[in-house]
Chain A
């Protein structure tokens, strides 16, 4: 089977949906002529023309607001807000306009809109170009939040997001763009459904995006020391698939949520709360591995130490479960 690069998966998903549905349009800052700052969308402009793919001013409020207005009048816009950190600017359009429309209109119309952004730390981009905004939006009813961890999911989830009739916040982790993996088995992935990416028996590790391959790497190492973790890719922060987690902890009795972000107000803490509320009887232990409660630092030594990488996951598990990794 041919290998698919994450950034190609993004581009192919958009291209296939533009081809499939005349209502789909794609616009953002530097996405057309330049092909995107992370080179995720090259050649779409040349292939589909200015009517379907175009550059906009650096004007996130107008960009997202216009996408909302277009979405409720017949188009299906996919927009790029270049870095997730910029999502503070269009927040009114997304939170007050797009998210609420279906409900407060009494279901007269919904908002088929996808807002893509590059997110996450590890690229030495500093405090204002490294955040993941998923949790900023997680408490907003009416929004879906998709966060793929693999090229196959990037394609399947993005295509599903574009076909979804609701506004979807779509997160693309910067340290995944160059990752290669198998093509998706199914054309569409289901939004709001978690995925067991590594079956195991002793501990459930749940994460999203870059945290998923990191958790799998950590799990493989832990397995050599006699503990066999199950790794779950949440894939969506809203809706939250608690069911898959409950099934897993019923088997493993332990839950670790690994989040590239602070514990306070984070999704990891929310996941622990949801599982505890419904399955406290299944839990022997549950904890989070998150970042320090500070902005994201720039210096490589500081940023590397800030991130929960495979070493940190292994250390967290062995310490918590008092497992010796000495050989």
Chain B
């Protein structure tokens, strides 16, 4: 029996911690937005505000040494898997103290210590990486999860990865964060057939559509998928339907999305849903507020420290092409 599925882990207090993780991601993304506009973050960055319930729900069903592969919209994947917010912020800022020493940047974060195999800048790359990690995981008694967007469901990586994982019955969980837009294009315009979950069935994977803005729903679906994977029953596909609050990247104001659609999704903000549900339980407002304050302070300290960190010095950069 795995520790995550116990009653204790379902207690309201446990969900308070998960809510705090979601809030941490939301606040982190807000800070990244601000720091980008102020010129501290370079190139581009892809924010995941609005999608927090998916990585937090899925990672809450995983053990710390299980594997996760994420996407270029991956700050939430990294934080949910346990990456240090200060090291992650420093990476975005290109500082020497970044989780990858400033060499990776926003789209390619790797945090081996926390089981984050990597975040991949190419659409669909996480699927093969997680499939491969599942080859190792099968021997190690671990599970491997891939996050990817709806756009990735049209890449070869998706079709080849699901088939490969099923043929070998690998302990993998494929988590599609369907935010209904592949970059600037509506998913429905470029995705044939009956939706993404339906494609899982074609490869013999159990597949389900999940309310990706409901932490409880994501966690329940993930627990089942992870248990199947760990018990040798093979991979699962979860299509978690959600919505990004920002545009695709920092150059995108997302003016292509109808206002009514945006309003409808904003009304289903995963943080608002989670907070409401916590207050319906035995938790009191002050308990929730206290955790929110703690999270805010934690992030403020992290950002401050990251901003004070030095840039890597090219003279000192002992970059080696190969491991000796």
Which residues of A does B touch, CB under 8 Å? 25, 54, 56-57, 59, 61-75, 77, 89, 92-93, 96-97, 100-110, 141-142, 144, 165-166, 239
Contact = CB atoms under 8 A, between A and B. Distances in A.
Contact of A107 (B120, B139, B320): B320
B137 interface: yes
A147 B160 CA distance: 29
Nearest to B104: A104
Given A59-B163, A59-B164, A107-B323, A71 B103 contact: no
B160 A61 contact: yes
A106 B128 contact: no
A103 B133 contact: no
Contacts of A66: 128, 131-132, 135, 161, 164
A107 B168 CA distance: 31
Interface in B86-139: 98-101, 103-104, 108, 110-113, 117-118, 120-122, 125, 127-137, 139
A65 B125 contact: yes
A106 B164 contact: no
A108 B128 contact: no
7 contacts: A54-B168, A72-B129, A74-B136, A74-B140, A96-B121, A103-B319, A239-B321
Contacts of B69: 69
A108 B121 CA distance: 18
B184 interface: no
A88 to B, nearest CB: 12
A65 B148 CA distance: 15
Contacts of A166: 322-323
- Interface-central residue, B104, B137, B322, by most chain A CB under 10 Å: B322
Given A69-B133, A104-B104, A63 B164 contact: yes
Interface string B293-324: 00000000000000000000000000111111
Q: How large is the interface on B (under 10, 10 to 19, 20 to 34, 35 or more residues)?
A: 35 or more
B15 interface: no
A90 B130 CA distance: 16
A142 B133 CA distance: 20
Given A59-B160, A69-B128, A106-B103, 15 more contacts: A56-B167, A62-B131, A62-B160, A64-B128, A66-B164, A69-B130, A70-B133, A72-B112, A72-B117, A73-B144, A97-B125, A104-B103, A108-B113, A110-B323, A239-B322
A69 B135 contact: yes
Contacts of A103: 103, 319, 321
Please give me the 10 A-B residue pairs with the lowest Cβ-Cβ distance, nearest first: A69-B132, A65-B128, A106-B101, A62-B160, A73-B136, A66-B132, A62-B164, A110-B323, A105-B110, A70-B135
B156 interface: yes
B137 A97 contact: no
Given A65-B131, A72-B117, A104-B110, A144 B136 contact: no
Contacts of B19: none
* Among A57, A71, A105, A107: residue with most chain B CB under 10 A: A105
Nearest to B111: A108
A73 B67 contact: yes
Given A65-B157, A75-B136, A166-B322, A97 B164 contact: no
Contacts of A63: 164
Contacts of A67: 132
